[in-house]
Chains A and B, each alone.
Chain A
Amino acid sequence: MEEQKNDQSRRAFFSKTVPAAIGMLGVSGLLAEACKAPEEEEEKVSLLAPDGKLVQVSKSSISPQPVSPQEAREGIPGKKFVMVIDLARCKNARQCVAQCQKMHNQPAEDEWIKVFLMQDSEDTAPYWFPKPCFHCNQPPCVKVCPVGATYKRTDGIVLVDTDRCIGCKFCMTACPYSSRVFQWKEAPKSAESCSQPYSPETSVPSRVGTVGKCDFCPDMARQGKLPGCVTGCPNGVIFFGDKNEDIVSNGSESFRFSELVHDRAGYHFMAELGTEPNVYYLPPVDRLFDYEKGFNDLSDEQVEFYKNSVVKKH
């Protein structure tokens, strides 16, 4: 029964998402233009329909429209999003960070996904550790929010509604994983971000005096696409998918989620905190790169800084 249901939903997932994904590829380049002059006459775009034929549709009908605030609060029905991060593949290329910032119109200093250099003890080798929001099942941030501006959805995603956030920053002290970023000042607005209607699903445009964080890109998931950090990564470190469908993908490879975390000894970071994250890590065994490869693009000062900050010496 369970399997059958999964199978059906997977088929539904692909039949809906594949054509949309193909269509979006063509449209994404035009998006910026559309923002500048939304009243211009309807442009036609060619799309590949599920039956293999090319069809002409108006551009506005396929450009992604943010979902209603109600939908943004409830989540995508039937989904349970998970992320698996393979630490053996990371060499601090920082493309996940760059792509995330681009996607969310973030300034260079605000990182929703951060890459840490970790070392568990002086005797073990350091490793690079990309860290998005963990979208915990027991999220301490949601618990403490006085106005329900940050909330947990049915698809497992924890979002922030910056229309409602009062900026008390309690969620930032409550989150043990330093996942949250505050908008300390008004960010310079790009034409793209200001023309876009705000939705907690896109987290764009950002608002001064409110809290932001990694949102698992639910707007992309609605289009059947992977989050920015996943597609940005050149080494396929980050896998994203649906636990209900039991599939995760980094864009080029796909795995059964249950098999991947089972066979590769997936674990939760600081599981002892009881937050039940939806991000799993695969331990940094049989690594593709030496951790020092991660220093390649960094200045001497940065390298020194990283080296000093791992393993506390007292």
Chain B
Amino acid sequence: MKLDPKSARSLEFFTAQMVRISRPGMIGLAVMLLVVFGGIYALAVQVIDGHIVTGMRDNVVWGIYIANFIFFIGISYAGALISGILHLLRVPWRAPIIRIAEMITVISTMIGPSYILLCMGRLDRLHHLALYGRIQSPILWDVLAISTYLTGSIIFLYLASIRDLAALRTYPFKSKWRIWLYKFLSVDFNGNAAQNQYLDRALTIMSAIIIPLAILVHSVLAWIFGMTLRPGWHSTIFAPYFVIAAVFSGTGVLIIAMWVFRKVYHLESYITKIHFNYLGIILMILGALYAYFTFSEYLTSWYGSETWEMEVLYKLFDTNEYWWWFFFAAILGVVLPIAVILFPRFRTINSITAVSVIAVLALWVKRYLIIIPTLETPLLPLQDMRPEYIHYKVTPVEWMLTFAGIAMFCLLFFLFSKFLPIVNVVKVTEDRSYGALRQIVADRIIKREVKAFKLKERQKFAH
């Protein structure tokens, strides 16, 4: 594929960073590897000694692993819904951020299900799912949905990367394997009109497929809980509630990743305040929706005040039990992002990122609060003299594996960014200079909006 000088220059900018690891990058890499190895050690302990090394017992049979599972599948929504919808709606400012979003999707969809495996008592019998699988079980729905979703996300990321892969093929890398790999993966793409048309069509179809798939994945996940006869789980709104919570946390992680890569790779000219502003507004709207679902869920169970529902609610509102976590997860983690993003004067790149961090942490805690208090509230009285059977406590092994998952996420992201430019280079440069009429119009819209935005800011300060 022939690149114009402008594209070549920006490609140069990225490839220079791809082949080199800075000193802070090295330290980060070492830390991540250390945590991952810690996780491998913890896994070995769990396999050898059995699940007794976890905090899970007969009442709380699912613990932090399942919370992590929901969390990772949740953040995978960044790529699936955000980039899918932005692509379908032809949102003009999407180009510099969709690669990050799609990478989040693929990586977190790989890490999330591994927590299910950690929670399984007999990992050696995983093949029983294929041998004896029962389609009546929501677990099988989950297996089918997630594997389809992961495949779809990988295809989506790959299709959206072909132009860059073709461009990288022409770049004189020192290492032979890189050239060979780019050559192999770019499947002779040369950027002629017919190929471009096919690729665009394929991308549109994939983004249309990935959206319902993503919704399905989280709905099925919610149904694993919703289908049981348990207080706090047996709720009809669980599926949409999970979907909204997932997009909310996915958008948060996308903003954080944008902030990190902008700093690390000096992408200030690609990822701008506009991106943070727009995504911030999306985050705010999703936060409001999430708050609405939370309110609706707890209001109905409180007003109806069925015995079992009330028991779970009392635990959530008891300052000796979960109140402060609940306050953080359901109130602070939503109110703060909304309050900061609602007023333009508070909107800065750093403030939007900070509230995103809070939102993401809050959503992790929320997943914990969905699993644990309900399991600590069986329908029969908890008459067990063993305290560990009454209250779940996360053990070091579980923490180590949790952090190992997060480290693995960062590590894979880091490696991906060394293999593919973190920004869709060809698309961005096309958009900027040689794009079709549509993009020129889109650019104008952006410019007009930026102007209006600046004007407003100026007027505000004038007052």
Contact = CB atoms under 8 A, between A and B. Distances in A.
B136 interface: yes
A182 B380 contact: no
Contact of B380 (A145, A166, A177): A177
B140 interface: yes
A301 B225 CA distance: 36
A282 interface: no
Q: Which of A176, A181, A314 has the most CB of B within 10 A?
A: A176
Given A168-B120, A178-B380, A140 B228 contact: yes
B385 A305 contact: yes
B59 interface: yes
A209 B122 contact: yes
A176 B342 CA distance: 44
A143 B137 contact: yes
Interface string A142-153: 011111110000
B137 A185 contact: no
A170 interface: yes
A289 interface: no
Nearest to B128: A147
A166 B131 CA distance: 12
Contacts of B307: 312
A56 interface: no
A310 B385 contact: no
B121 A168 contact: yes
B228 to A, nearest CB: 5
B311 interface: yes
Contact of A140 (B59, B120, B225, B229): B229
B18 interface: no
A172 interface: yes
A184 B121 CA distance: 8
Contacts of B143: 146
Contacts, number: 136
B138 interface: yes
A64 to B, nearest CB: 27
Contacts of A13: none
B380 A309 contact: no
Interface in A102-148: 109, 114, 116-118, 131, 140, 143-148
B267 interface: no
B103 to A, nearest CB: 30
Nearest to B382: A309
B306 to A, nearest CB: 11
A151 B268 CA distance: 60
Given A146-B129, A178-B59, A182-B58, A166 B383 contact: no
Interface in B42-63: 49-52, 56-59, 61-62
A301 B387 CA distance: 13
A276 to B, nearest CB: 13
Contacts of B311: 312
A211 B61 CA distance: 11
Given A144-B227, A169-B61, A164 B125 contact: yes
Given A176-B229, A178-B59, A146 B120 contact: no
Contact of B126 (A166, A176, A302): A166
A208 interface: yes
Nearest to A163: B125
Size bracket of the B interface:
35 or more
Given A169-B121, A305-B385, A209 B380 contact: no
Contact of B120 (A118, A167, A305, A314): A167
A182 B385 contact: no
A14 interface: no
A145 B230 contact: no
A314 B311 CA distance: 9
A178 B230 CA distance: 11
A270 interface: yes
Q: Which of A147, A148, A149, A170 has the most CB of B within 10 A?
A: A147
Given A166-B129, A167-B120, A185-B52, A117 B383 contact: yes
B224 interface: yes
A33 B100 CA distance: 68
B38 interface: no
A173 interface: yes
Nearest to A270: B379
Contacts of A170: 137-139, 224
Q: Which of A117, A140, A143 has the most CB of B within 10 A?
A: A143
B256 to A, nearest CB: 32
B240 interface: no
Interface in B126-155: 126, 128-129, 131-134, 136-140, 143
Contacts of A172: 58, 61
Given A143-B136, A183-B121, A173 B375 contact: yes
Contacts of A185: 49-52
B297 to A, nearest CB: 19
A166 B138 contact: no
Contacts of A118: 381
B399 interface: no
A310 B381 contact: yes
B119 interface: yes
A186 B126 contact: no
8 contacts: A109-B386, A166-B125, A169-B62, A170-B139, A172-B58, A182-B57, A186-B50, A305-B383
Interface of B: 49-52, 56-59, 61-62, 116, 119-122, 125-126, 128-129, 131-134, 136-140, 143, 224-225, 227-230, 307, 310-311, 314, 375, 378-383, 385-386
Please give me the 4 A-B residue pairs with the lowest Cβ-Cβ distance, nearest first: A167-B121, A209-B121, A146-B139, A185-B52
Given A166-B125, A305-B383, 6 more contacts: A144-B139, A146-B133, A167-B51, A183-B121, A273-B229, A309-B383
